[in-house]
Amino acid sequence: MTAREEILASIRNALEVQASDPAGSHARIAQGYNRIGKLNHEARLEFFIDRLVDYDTEIIQVTAEAELPGAIAEALQHAGEDRALIAAAFPAAWLPASVSFKVDNNLPTSEIEGVPAVVTTCEAAVAATGTIILVHEGAQARRVLTLLPDHHICLVRRDQVFELLPETLIAIAAKAAKPITTISGPSATSDIEMTRIRGVHGPRRLTVILYG
Amino acid sequence: MSIVVGKTSKAPDFPVAAKAALKNDQLRRNVHHATNVIRNKRALRVEEMPDWEQLRSAGSEIKAHTLAHLDHYLIEFERNCELAGGKVHWARDADEANKIAIELIRHYGGDGPGVEVIKVKTMTSDEVQMNHALEAAGIKPIETDLADMIVQLGNDEPSHIVVPALHKNRFEIRDIFRDKMEKPELTEQPEDLTAAARGYLRERFLRTKIGISGANFAIADTGSVCVVESEGNGRMCVTLPDVLITLVGIEKVIPSFADLEIFLQTLPRSATGERMNPYNSLWTGVTPGDGPQAFHVILLDNGRTKLLQDEIERETLQCIRCGACLNACPVYRETGGHAYGSIYSGPIGAILSPQLQSLEHSRSLPYASTLCGACYEVCPVKINIPEVLIHLRGEVVREDQKTLSGKLSAENIAMQAAANIFLSHRRYEAAQRMARIGQTIFKRDGQLTNLPGMAGAWTRSRDLRPIPKQSFRDWWKSREKKDGANA
Amino acid sequence: MHYNTGYHREAVPLVRRFVEMFRDAEAVCVPSASCVAMMREHYEMMAEADGDLKFIAEVKSLLPRVFEFSELLVNCLGVEDVGAAFAHSVTYHPSCHSLRMLHVGDAPVKLLRSVRDLTLFELPQKEQCCGFGGTFAVKNPDVSLAMLTEKDACVVQTGAEVVTALDNSCLMQIYGGLHRSGSQVRTMHLAEILAETGGAA
């Protein structure tokens, strides 16, 4: 017998009741917890901002899309950076003229390493946990782009913010099989005496630009 | 088949190892501090969740359901992972898992010496002792989680499921880094130590072609894998290499992507007391142009299917490795993780290790608990650990009673005698009278301070109040008599 | 003790004995939370493993009539003030089984608050186990002692004259450590405090 056959056989031997309608019994498990948020738009955003601040995320708030180039320039300037990466699909109209952008046309890692910042959009955000969710396609960029630079600037449209995690995952479920990264604040560790240190291997700086 | 769970074959019994650990004041201070911090953070983050109990129940039910249909979900995961360009391998035990990993590394990395692999924290790879197997094959594993790095560079063993180096303080870590990274100027500031780790690993992340990860969740309906982490080393390991090998215990499968809505709420809060850990990575097979272009999953049994048969034992497999039970456990707090003689320590280790492998020392693990229930109270998937411990104690006793030496052991004889005494009030009262007389020779200043036999373990460090002259029963009887006289 | 240590078979006759003794009782008051926890958590399971249908039925019928002492007073009888008086400072150790298995909540605290002249001090880290755990104390004497040392330090820290609980087993452990270290803090079961009338304390 192959290992596969042997493991499956010993599972089946061990389980008295053979799998009958697993989908049905899975669906019947009670979801007694909160799945949909109750806050209105303003309260939800306030909640989101509160949680972002709690996790050391920098926040810039604008309203119109036309203000995005200024906000991106401000985020970079604040960090003392003059170069940034973007995905090829990133809208050109949002780019500030004062900054030089390196467009990812399948850049090799060697050309990504060394660029101080990256600007992306996101798929959704969770207020309760201060989390932004990237589905790595289009302007949300490939995974490596959002990982090597030390500063990640992420544009979050206000209507992308959900209150709770369950409703957010429901909203992105159609894209579940794409590479997904959820980001809650900058990279951190508490491995040394449980002292939270901001910034280990991932970006040490995270800026969220809220717009729309 | 040989089931291996870490480097445990020669570990001493828990009471012996615990005694040694208790003498290490530095270790105890480190463990007390760390568990206090995580416990308090966890309590804070759980309190803000009005639906915490419902999340626990749902998580528990999802896990129980998955285990009851484990074959179905493993096959579904395999199918969807392979449809997306991944390749699934099955390993009966540790040796087989290591053999598969080494063959894959040789296939992609060549037979030459000095092939390196980067690893993101995986308890399962510690369970199968993968680093030792790789090193024996001439492959160099590089641990990238800060705590795992501390353990690896210090030739140490993990002492906690989530925070493996929790037994080391900043000075001890500084000394390891100074020595192994050749940075004699390094200070003990956590910021400096963290920056040193970043610098040390950065070039290794960029040059290494093969990554090894574990998985927090393997998702059947999408074939995706999810890794939960904080530092970004996980993202590095699952993104940068050309080839990714993921080792997954078969109990890590969950039915659907939607189920993450429960576990991604309960796991971070339970593990580190965060609302959400900084990063979760999810990927499905191979994505052209993004991340590793070859992806292999090794599904590991290593004794797990044995636990499925019995419903009480099966609960153990619901574990999502959050470590909350370790932090809550008053025994773990005193001894730290190494005393358990297994990479799985604390309450979950005390039930998992003896069930995965039947080693002599692991027979002492079910007794490494006062059954205080703190572990059950915090478990995010409601594993009734005290219940499983009592169940396993029953197995130990039944096995012992099969042997002559077990039958004649002082404990067994005392237990049989006590049962006999408790069964009859005459015998009980007679025993009480005898004890009252017998205890007089052990009395000092009105206390029992030096009893013989098993009771000596008690009086060696505690006093015992002698049995009073009048028992409750005697008092009750005399009261009835008095009442009768008054009536 | 037998069941928790793994002597499951040996425990069954003891359950039978308990049922025989108390089957006709209107209510069974037990001055030990860990005993009640054992009954509620395991008796039914033990009876079912034994397989005797009559025995199972009797266990099921008896269990709802078994109460821990403070439960019976506060939750069943609605009594908080039993008319006791005790002019001493007291700290309360919520034993593991009363806290996490029986969930007696603040019933014992309500009773203590109603005792005249009694000063109640909050015990730091009160939810931590005292380290007894039945045979744990002799199988793992060193760890048990380490836990006890922490517990007793917390008791002493309160400055209370008396430490009380719903379990004499925990109190035996706590007393053993306190007395050995020369502390003057006394241990009393909650029932003993409630029996005080202020005269001869």
Domain parsing of chain C, residue ranges: 2-75, 89-194
Q: What does the pLDDT look like over B38-58, one tens digit per residue? A: 999 999 999 999 999 999 999
The pLDDT tens digits of the residues spanning B351-393 come to: 999 998 876 778 899 999 999 999 999 999 999 999 999 999 9
Which of C100, C132, C138 has the CB atom closest to B373's CB atom?
Answer: C100
Instruction: Quick: pLDDT tens for A37-92.
Output: 999 999 999 999 999 999 889 999 999 999 999 999 999 999 999 999 999 999 99
Contact A187 B279 (CB under 8 A): yes
Q: Which CATH code is given to the segment(s) C89-194?
A: 3.40.50
Indicate which of C8, C20, C142 best probes the interface with B, i.e. most B CBs within 10 Å of its own CB.
C142
Contact C176 B458 (CB under 8 A): yes
Residue B4: predicted pLDDT? 73
Neighbours of A (≥3 Cβ pairs closer than 8 A)? B
- Please check the confidence at residue B20 and state whether its pLDDT lies above 60: yes
Q: How many CB pairs under 8 A join A and B?
A: 239
Residues on chain B touching C2 (C-beta within 8 angstroms): 415, 418-419
How far apart, in whole angstroms, are the C-alpha atoms of residue A144 and residue B287? 13
Instruction: Please tell me the predicted confidence (pLDDT) of residue C103.
Output: 94
Q: Which amino acid is at B457?
A: A
C51-55 mean pLDDT: 93
* Beta-carbon separation of A22 and B69 below 8 A: yes
Eight-class DSSP state of C122: P
Chain C CB contacts of B22 under 8 Å are 142-143, 146
Closest C-alpha among B11, B20, B8, B47 to residue B335: B20
| The B294-300 sheet, strands edge to edge | B87-91, B294-300, B243-249, B210-213, B115-119, B139-143
**Helix (H) or strand (E) run with residue A51 in it:** helix A41-54
Check: CB of residue A126 under 8 Å from CB of residue A168. Answer: yes
pLDDT tens string A117-171: 999 999 999 999 999 999 999 999 999 999 999 999 999 999 999 999 999 999 9
What distance in Å separates the CA atoms of residue B409 and residue B267, rounded to the nearest whole number?
44
Cβ–Cβ of C139/B377 closer than 8 Å? no
Length of chain A in terms of residues written: 212
The pLDDT of residue C99 is 95
Contact B285, B223 (CB under 8 A): yes
CB–CB of B195/B235 below 8 Å? Answer: no
High-pLDDT (> 70) share of chain C, %: 99
Residues 6+ apart with CB under 8 A from A174: none
Terminal Cα distance for chain A, rounded: 60
Instruction: Give A19's contacts in chain B (Cβ within 8 Å).
Output: 68-69, 71-72
How crowded is the C-beta side of C58, counted as CA atoms within 13 Å? 19
CB-CB under 8 Å, C180 with B463: yes
Number of CB pairs, chain B paired with chain C, less than 8 A apart:
137
- The pLDDT, as a whole number, for residue A90 is 98
Could you report the per-residue pLDDT of B118-150, keeping only the tens digit for each?
Answer: 999 899 999 999 999 999 999 999 999 999 999
Chain C residues within 8 A of B379 when measuring between CB atoms: none
Chain B residues closer than 8 Å to C146 by CB: 22, 334
Q: How far is A51 from chain B (nearest CA, A)?
A: 9
As a whole number of angstroms, the distance between CA A190 and CA A174 comes to 34
Question: What chain B residue is nearest to A21 in terms of C-alpha separation?
Answer: B69
Contacts of B457 in chain C (CB under 8 A): 137-139, 141
Whether residue C44 is predicted with pLDDT greater than 60 in this model: the reply is yes
Question: Do C141 and B395 make contact, defined as CB atoms within 8 angstroms?
Answer: no
**What's the CA gap between C118 and B411, in Å, rounded?**
43
User: Cβ separation of A202 and B232 shorter than 8 Å?
Assistant: yes
Chains that touch B (3 or more CB pairs under 8 A): A, C
CATH topology for B14-306 is Rossmann fold (3.40.50)
In chain B, the residue whose alpha carbon lies closest to the alpha carbon of A184 is B278
Helix H segments across C31-184? 33-38, 44-50, 53-62, 69-70, 96, 107-113, 136-139, 141-158, 168-180
The answer to whether C138 faces chain B, any CB pair under 8 Å, is yes
Nearest CA distance, B57 vs chain A (angstrom): 8
B71–A170: do the CB atoms touch at under 8 Å? Answer: no
Number of residues in chain C? 201
With CA atoms as reference, report the closest residue to B365 among B341, B383, B384. B341
- Identify which of A19, A142, A197 has the shortest CB distance to residue B289: A142
Give the sheet arrangement for strand A180-183, strand by strand: A161-162, A124-126, A131-135, A180-183, B279-284, B224-229, B217-219, B253-254
What residues of chain C lie within 8 A of the CB of B373, using their CB? 96-97, 100-101
Helices C53-62, C8-22: axis angle to 10 degrees equals 60
Q: pLDDT by residue (tens digit) across B403-461?
A: 888 888 888 888 888 888 888 888 888 888 888 888 887 887 788 888 887 778 888 88
B461–C2 C-beta distance less than 8 A: no
Beta strands in A27-121 (DSSP E): 58-61, 83-87, 100-104, 117-121
Contact of B298 with B89, CB cutoff 8 Å: yes
pLDDT value, residue B35: 95
Say which DSSP state C39 is in. I
ipTM summary value: 0.96
The DSSP line for C123-159 is PTTTTS--S-TTTHHHHSHHHHHHHHHHHHHHHHHHT
Mean pLDDT of the residues in chain B: 92
Task: Give me the residues of C, 53-92, that contact B with CB < 8 A.
Answer: none
Confidence of residue B1 (pLDDT cuts 50, 70, 90): low
Predicted pLDDT at B486: 56
Residues of C in contact with B366 (CB under 8 A): 6
Tell which B residues from 386 to 445 touch C, by Cβ distance under 8 Å. Answer: 387, 390, 392-398, 411, 415-416, 418-419, 422-423
Measured between CB atoms, which of B71, B73, B276 is closest to A12? B71
Tell me the chain B residues in contact with residue A31 when contact means C-beta distances shorter than 8 Å.
Answer: 54, 58
Distance to chain B for C103, nearest Cα, Å: 11
Q: Across residues C51-75, what is the average pLDDT? A: 95
Global pTM?
Answer: 0.94
pLDDT in tens, B241-278: 999 999 999 999 999 999 999 999 999 999 999 999 99
* A chain contacts of residue B280, beta-carbon cutoff 8 Å: 180-182
pLDDT score, position A130: 97
Considering only CB atoms, A200 lies closest to which of B72, B197, B291, namely B197
**Residues 303 through 342 of chain B touching chain C, CB cutoff 8 Å:** 330-331, 334-335
What residue spans define the domains of chain A? Answer: 40-185+200-211
State residue C200's pLDDT score: 47
- Which two tokens mark C43? 């008796």
Q: Which of residues 165-184 of C touch B (CB under 8 A)?
A: 172-173, 175-177, 179-180
B36: closest chain A residue by CA: A194
* All CATH 3.40.50.10420 domain ranges in chain B, comma separated: 14-306
SS (H, E, C) chain B: CCCCCCCCCCCCCHHHHHHHHHCCHHHHHHHHHHHHHHHHHHHHHHHCCCCHHHHHHHHHHHHHHHHHCHHHHHHHHHHHHHHCCCEEEEECCHHHHHHHHHHHHHHHHCCCCCEEEEECCCHHHHHCCHHHHHHHCCEEEEECCHHHHHHHHCCCCCCCCCCCCCCCCHHHHHHHHHHHCCCCCCCCCHHHHHHHHHHHHHHHHHHCCEEEECCCEEECCCCEEEEEECCCHHHHHHHCCCEEEEEEEHHHEECCHHHHHHHHHHHHHHHCCCCCCCEEEEEECCECCECCCEEEEEEECCCHHHHHCCHHHHHHHHCCCCCHHHHHCHHHHHHCCHHHCCCCCHHHHHHHHHHHCCCCHHHHHHHCCCCCCHHHHHCCCCCCHHHHHHHHHHHHHHHHHCCHHHHCCHHHHHHHHHHHHHCCHHHHHHHHHHHHHHHHHHEECCEECCCCHHHHHHHCCCCECCCCCCCHHHHHHHHHHHHHHHC
Q: What residue type is assigned to position B1 of the chain?
A: M
Give every strand in the sheet of A83-87, ordered side by side. Answer: A58-61, A205-211, A151-157, A117-121, A83-87, A100-104
In the three-class reduction of DSSP (H, G, I as helix; E, B as strand; rest coil), residue C190 is classed as helix
For domain A40-185+200-211, give the CATH number: 3.40.50.10420
Contacts of A13 in chain B (CB under 8 A): 309
